[in-house]
Chains A and B, each alone.
Chain A
Amino acid sequence: MSANHEHAHHHHEKESFLSKYIFTMDHKMIGKQYLVTAIIMGIIGIGLSGLFRLKLGWPDTKFPILEAILGSDWAPDGVLDSNMYLGLVTMHGTIMVFFVLTGGLSGTFSNLLIPLQIGARDMASGLLNMISFWLFFLSSIIMTFSLFIETGPAMAGWTIYPPLSALEEAQSGSGLGMTLWLFSMAIFIASSLLGGINYIVTVLNLRTKGMKMTRLPLTIWAFFVTAIIGLLSFPVLLSAAVLLIMDRMGGTSFYLSDITLSSGALDQTGGSPILYEHLFWFLGHPEVYIVLLPALGISSEVVATNARKPIFGYRAMIGSILAIGFLSFIVWGHHMFVTGMNPFLGGVFTFTTLLIAIPSAVKVFNYLTTLWKGNIILTPAMVFSVGMVSTFITGGITGIILADSALDISQHDTYFVVGHFHIVMGMSAILAMFAGIYHWFPKMYGKMMNKKLGYIHFWITIVCGYGVFLPMHFLGEGGMPRRYYENTAFPMFDHFLDLNTIISVFAIVGVLGQVVFFFNFFWSAFRGPRASKNPWKSTTLEWTTPIDHVHGNWDGPIPEVHRWPYDYSKPGQEEDYVMQDVPLGENEEEH
């Protein structure tokens, strides 16, 4: 704690530009650095999807814009090259999953909110926190850079299964592009681990007086469990990546066996590509919850605040976060039902996977009960959160079908899967991330974002999001495989031609619609009207801090906490919210 006290005394010192904005150790600034980096990566990530949707929506049209952006090697005469198509798909997946929804979501909001909401002066280690961001930044640069090399970026799908990803002869992107991908990911994982350790230690050790674990806002619970999941699963991906690097560069054969290429039989033999799949999905599935739990945490907070009602079943919500966190480690095999795994094992994974539906259902019902008989204010953050609950339901429901190994035989790797995970993981997390940005923007920049633009942004996003991903379920039911450069090689899919065009129109409008957000974000950060101290009349501690950031968060002593974070519309109180640092009145029960 001594470090924290020192901060309190030194916060009046004038800081240089470099130490304030670049090599800062202040968690609030680091959170903003994460956010801005993630927004820029997000522009790239969704931009790529817009490019390949052009090809999928209009398979026979030439788009000069493709040649202008990708160059005449990858899009001669405006016709996308089939290798580059896979490159775009791969990079879109990688950037969105890791750099936007993992680094962006956890990095921004864990950093911003953990110290503010638990009542700490800063993270446990400001230095680790700074290193964590700069590693994230470095890995973002490397990943982005790999888009510009001659042999193209990684092209083996975001899961980069070997041997495809291990052998340059199999695919041009498995050369330098894949090397850069692997190194970028290794750095990213290091960043994520440093961040995760910091979050865990901070939540455990630096809570202010009175902030029991059972008084933590659900956001903090979500970030805390997310950090634990990340800490346990990311090292496994790191080892998978290191083994792959060795197979590629060191002549080992962890993943390679019995392979013949046009240049002849490969020397390396005796490994198993399935080993990689196990290692990858041991992270890959928890990764879904690394993305989703913060989203659920943010939504809980926003929904309770704007329904002016305590979140229903606070302890059940914590219980389901923990249950989801635990179960997420024993379900990875459902990505591998058709790899030839032992059918008994497949049965076990079906069982554990379907179990996750129970805590998820509890969460959904608790959200609905929180809204029931509430007094709902539809702020921009709130509309995004309502949208998030809807996508969580819609995407979760179709997950039940994919979890069922028998059904997965005929759904695996079809567009049904693409539709499912984009709704449940992609849209839910993105909507919650936007909700978080609109909700905590006043805390980050001391300014307000434009409300009307927020509404416009929401309606474009949800309509286009559903417009893109709902029809994909029908493509999948029709047997259409994902990651096909064009579907016209199979005339049996021709009746889907117009559906694919519709999807592409929604996708492109949705992508362009994000301009509304970018504009609103950057414009408001500089020119938005000044926010008041607690604009949403919320109960949690971050709204007790001064509007202008101070290093150390509170000018005076850290407030003491006397109650749980959801005292909204408590009977017998004057206002419809009571902040956490207000002592319990006489004869007042906690909740």
Chain B
Amino acid sequence: MEKLLIFLVIAIVAIAVVQIVRVYELASKVKGGGVEETVTKGENALNANLFILFMIAFFGSIIWMMFVYGDGGLGEAASVHGQEIDSLLTLNWWIILPVFFITNTLLFVFVRMYLYNPNRRSLYFAHSNKLEMIWTVFPSMALAVIIIFGLKTWNSVMNPEEKGTIIEIYAQQFGWTARYAGEDNKLGRADYKLITNDNPLGVISKEGIEGSYAYLEKKIEGLESKLAENKVGDEYLLPDAKIKEMTDKLESLKRQKYRIKGGIDKGIEPGVFEMANNDILTKELHLIKGETYTFQFRSKDIIHSAWFPHFRAQMNCVPGMITNFTFTPNKTTLEVRADEFTKEHYKKINEFHNERMRNIGEPEEEVEFDFVLMCNKICGASHYNMQMKVIVETEEEFKAWIESQKQIDGGTPKYWGSQTVAEAK
């Protein structure tokens, strides 16, 4: 169907061009070369009318889209600061939309009003200090309002009065891991050199360090024996480039081992292992409604961006750097699901979703609302599918969930309760 449509469009355009050229060639034969230089009264009027028509369609389509898509589908912000951002956005729209409609209208209407008339001269009006002043001062005033309210919101969002419960969001190609600090509300330290399959975040713990030694030694041994196997006398059987690659890798592994020994292992202060032991790694992010969280973002490989659209929260995850964002969710997942707007909206989404499912021959399903964390900085092939489910729930529900998880040291977490959190702060 689409192919046919595209083909039709091409064909129509081609035919139109050929026809127009033919007409044009005939016309220019009759009228002589000057025809392209003078815009006829008819052409002038036609284009001016088209501008007015265009303006109506332009404004009409914007207003139509505002009705159909204006709510965006995200609904009301589900965090305390998010509601501040939303009202700031509304204020901004109220300032700039009138400007948009008025200036665009003036533009198109002037074009229609002051069309060329050979019996008339335009007004020789080159400058006016008064007017220039007006349109420097008025935008400045409007911008002052925007800047003042904008900076007020920005400062209150980015410099929260108190830090909350700490959770680490760890990004890598192409997934997210959450790390809860556990009972002590202290995240264990981490180092990228300690990352192994058993210690995916490189947390500094006794097992983590031992594990990475074991991992590195195994790799070193493997490479050394492979090199030895290939050595006959002083010559290698493999091509030089391959050997160079292997020896480089070997040296790099050894270097890493010594860097762990001299850098991390040597400088372990008392209490560092304990901080890590009760950390909890999860593949879903569970939050308690009304609790303030300070998220700490890290990345394993390249820049990612943690984007929580429903909470109006976003922060880049940069390798070599720790970034932060603090917010307080104020609606549980179930509350949002029960909301009238969401019900209505998800009815629409399900219609679209299942129409698509039918088209691609997959079973229909019921899509439910969920908070989500997605990657918002280009990060490679599966960037478009780098997501983690976020669940906001009550304290009891959270307690049940967190106690079903596992600590890094293998123990079962015990919910720390809001009291403990307050003390730890």
Across the two chains, which residue of chain A brings its CB closest to B300?
Answer: A260
A448-B303 contact given A393-B103, A489-B387, CB 8 Å threshold: no
Partner among B65, B111, B155 whose Cβ is within 8 Å of the Cβ of A470: B65
Chain A hits for B62, CB < 8 A: 470
Contact string against B for A residues 155-199, beta-carbon threshold 8 Å, 1 for contact and 0 otherwise: 111000111100100110000000000000000000000000000
Q: How many inter-chain residue pairs (CB < 8 Å) link A and B?
A: 424
Closest to A371 in B: B110
Interface contact B65-A479, CB-CB below 8 Å? no
Identify which of residues 39-86 in chain B touch chain A, using a CB-to-CB cut-off of 8 Å.
39, 43-44, 47-48, 50-51, 54, 58, 61-62, 65, 69-70, 72-74, 82, 84-85
Q: Is the CB of A453 within 8 A of B252?
A: no
Render A350-380 as a binary contact track against B, CB cut-off 8 A, 1 for contact: 1100110110011011011101111111110
Inside 8 A of B151's CB, which chain A residues have their CB? 347, 350-351, 405-406
Bound Cα distance from A165 to B302, whole angstroms = 9
Known contacts A171-B381, A258-B192, A355-B143: A61-B2 contact under CB 8 Å: yes
B21: chain A residues within 8 A (beta carbon): 450, 453, 519, 523
The smallest C-beta distance from A56 to any residue of chain B, in angstroms, reads 11
Given contacts A164-B380, A474-B65, contact A371 B114 (CB under 8 A): yes
Partner of B320, one of A257, A364, A383, A483: A257
Report chain B residues within 8 Å CB of A453. 17, 20-21, 24
Complex partner residue of A463 from B16, B54, B320, B387, CB under 8 angstroms = B54
| Interface pair B324/A312, CB less than 8 Å apart | no
A487 at the binding interface (Cβ < 8 Å):
yes
B43:A451 contact, CB within 8 angstroms: yes
- How far is A369 from B350 in the complex, measured between Cα atoms in Å? 51
Contact A394 B70 (CB under 8 A): no
Query: Is the pair B356, A479 in contact by a Cβ cutoff of 8 Å?
Result: no
- B307 engages A481 (CB within 8 Å): yes
Tell me which residues across on chain A come within 8 A of B2, comparing CB atoms.
Answer: 58, 61, 63
Provide the residues of chain B in CB contact with A463, threshold 8 Å: 54
Q: In angstroms, how far is the closest chain B Cβ from the Cβ of A47?
A: 13
Among A265, A270, A308, A495, the residue within 8 A (CB) of B122 is: A308
CB-CB < 8 A to B307: which residues of A?
413, 479, 481
Q: Using Cβ atoms and an 8 Å threshold, which residues of chain B touch A499? A: 69
Name the A residues within 8 Å of B117 (CB-CB): 375
Binds A, one of B265-273, B309-317, B417-425: B309-317
B116 contacts A339, C-beta separation under 8 Å: no
Is the beta-carbon distance between A406 and B103 smaller than 8 angstroms? no
A328 CA / B139 CA spacing, docked (Å): 18
A580 to B312, CA, bound (A): 56
Taking a contact as CB atoms closer than 8 A, the residue among B122, B139, B323 that contacts A569 in the complex is B122
Question: Which of A217-225, A226-234, A236-244, A509-517 forms contacts with chain B?
Answer: A509-517
Contact indicator A267/B255 (Cβ below 8 Å)? yes
Contact with A along B319-342 (1 / 0, CB 8 A): 111011000000000000000000
Q: Is the CB of B39 within 8 A of A451?
A: yes
* CA A406 to CA B252, docked complex, whole Å: 44
Given contacts A339-B318, A368-B107, contact A60 B124 (CB under 8 A): no
Q: What string of 1s and 0s marks CB contacts (under 8 Å) between B371-388 and chain A?
A: 010111111111111010
- Is B235 part of the binding interface, using a Cβ–Cβ cutoff of 8 Å? no
Residues of A within 8 A of B74 (CB): 477-479
Given A163-B303, A260-B202, are A274 and B379 also a contact pair (CB < 8 Å)? Answer: no
Cβ-based interface call for A144 (8 A): no
* Contact of B320 with A354 in the complex, beta carbons under 8 Å: no
Are B106 and A368 within 8 A (Cβ)?
A: yes
Tell me the B167-183 residues at the A interface (CB within 8 Å).
173
Interface contact A343-B377, CB-CB below 8 Å: no
Q: Is A531 an interface residue (CB 8 A)?
A: yes
A546 located at the interface, meaning its Cβ lies under 8 Å from any Cβ of chain B in the complex: no
Q: Scoring A residues 450 to 473 as 1 if CB is less than 8 Å from chain B, else 0, what string do you get?
A: 111101100100110010001100
Interface pair B36/A528, CB less than 8 Å apart: yes
Q: Which 4 A-B pairs have the closest CB atoms?
A: A257-B320, A479-B309, A340-B323, A529-B33
Can you sample 5 A-B contacts with CB below 8 Å?
A155-B380, A312-B125, A351-B151, A483-B378, A492-B73
Known: A340-B324, A373-B114. 20 other contacts (CB 8 A): A82-B384, A258-B319, A343-B155, A357-B139, A361-B139, A376-B114, A410-B314, A456-B16, A456-B20, A459-B54, A494-B367, A495-B352, A496-B69, A512-B10, A532-B37, A536-B37, A568-B122, A569-B122, A571-B121, A571-B124
Interface, chain B (partner A; CB < 8 A): 2-3, 5-6, 9-10, 13-14, 16-17, 20-21, 24, 28, 32-37, 39, 43-44, 47-48, 50-51, 54, 58, 61-62, 65, 69-70, 72-74, 82, 84-85, 88-89, 92-93, 96-97, 99-100, 103-104, 106-108, 110-111, 114-117, 120-128, 131-132, 135-136, 139-140, 143, 146-147, 150-151, 153-155, 157-159, 173, 191-193, 195, 202, 219, 252-253, 255-256, 297, 300-303, 305, 307, 309-310, 312-316, 318-321, 323-324, 345, 348-349, 352-353, 356, 359-360, 367, 369-370, 372, 374-385, 387
